Amino acid sequence: MSVDSAVGSPPQAPPRGRVSPAAFRWFALADFIAMIAIVLSGAAVRLSGSGLGCPDWPTCFQHQITKVAGYHSIIEYGNRIVTVAITIITAATFLAALLRDERRRDLVAFSGALVLGIVADALLGAVVVYSHLNPWLVSLHMVLSLAMVAVAATLYHRSKYVYGPGAVQHVRDPHFLFVARFLWVPLAATILAGTVTTGAGPHAGGNGNQSVARRLPIAFSSAAWIHSVAAVILISMVAGLLLAIWHSAAPAPLQLGVRRLFLISLAQGIIGVTQYWTHVPVLLVELHVLGAISVTIAVTQFNLRQVARERVAGTRRVPA
């Protein structure tokens, strides 16, 4: 049986009270989507100027849950409700990992890390509110959320493939593997510079009727220039990888992965330049946040594609 194929006999029904490996994949996918949702909903709160719509935490206004002071409160508290739903999904995924038939330590560890990440993100959100949207903490909030997206993407990938002692694995190309690992450096630099640019930019997260949130002590144009340099380095590295893999005998998964990464990175760069020259309109900024999520996922998946593994029984795509 070749690598990347399903292993073993057709999946059997798991014992009562256990979760089948095929079913756990759907828990992992739900958690993955949830991590994406938490970044987008948080960005929507900031861009709508609703960051201080609920001055109290975990309640909304004057220690009451239901009392609101306008649509900013509705948006901010709506985001908290989304976070509660995401917390339930994440906790359910962790429980499913514990109950998975043939429990795997890696799946328990990654799903457990997401539970801890959700808790840390919620507590950090409380500190952000009570610090009146301290820009450094808002930036850390974004970095943590993107890190959780990468962890969730890894969890979903691992839920579909066989890992552990004795598992079949094959490095597709050791040279590309090294470069793929190094991509995390320019990606991290680009994300960090991007959060600094946001912290120096016009979208503080508050509105005219709330306390004015502080901005980072750096010119927006200077922060944007640093961010663009980091982004150009990342895109250039991906373009070099694209040319190298294209003119080599690299396996199809690597070729597909690098093409996807290049197109996403290039689109993200175009959105970034456009939003800067159009004075960072809200819709483009939200789209840029979606682009940051997409690039993070693409780099994560490209790294995971470097090693070929056998599929978990019951998770293989059915040919059309």
Q: What is the mean pLDDT of the chain?
A: 85
Asked whether the predicted pLDDT for residue 156 surpasses 90, the reply is yes
Asked whether the predicted pLDDT for residue 207 surpasses 60, the reply is no
pLDDT band at residue 129 using 50, 70 and 90 as cut-offs: confident
What pLDDT score does 65 carry?
A: 59
Q: How does pLDDT run across 136-153, given as a tens digit for each residue? A: 888 898 999 999 999 999
Pick from 225, 210, 282: nearest CA to 44: 282
Residue 309 in contact with residue 168, Cβ under 8 Å?
A: yes
Q: How does pLDDT run across 181-199, given as a tens digit for each residue? A: 999 999 999 999 999 988 8
In order of 24, 69, 176, the CA distances from 29 in angstroms are 9, 36, 27
Asked whether the predicted pLDDT for residue 214 surpasses 80, the reply is no
Residue 273 in contact with residue 287, Cβ under 8 Å?
A: no
Contacts of residue 111, defined as CB under 8 A and 6 or more positions apart, other chains included, come to 28, 31, 90, 93, 94, 96, 97, 155
pLDDT (mean) for 295-318? 88
d(CA 71, CA 66) in angstroms, rounded, equals: 13
Q: pTM of the entire structure? A: 0.86
More confident residue, 152 or 2: 152
What pLDDT score does 67 carry?
A: 54
C-alpha angle with apex 35: 213 to 104, nearest 5 degrees?
A: 140
What pLDDT score does 315 carry?
A: 76
Q: How does pLDDT run across 272-290, given as a tens digit for each residue? A: 999 989 988 888 988 999 9
pLDDT band at residue 15 using 50, 70 and 90 as cut-offs: low
What pLDDT score does 4 carry?
A: 57
What pLDDT score does 166 carry?
A: 80
Pick from 147, 19, 41: nearest CA to 93: 19
What pLDDT score does 83 carry?
A: 84
Asked whether the predicted pLDDT for residue 8 surpasses 50, the reply is no
Asked whether the predicted pLDDT for residue 154 surpasses 80, the reply is yes
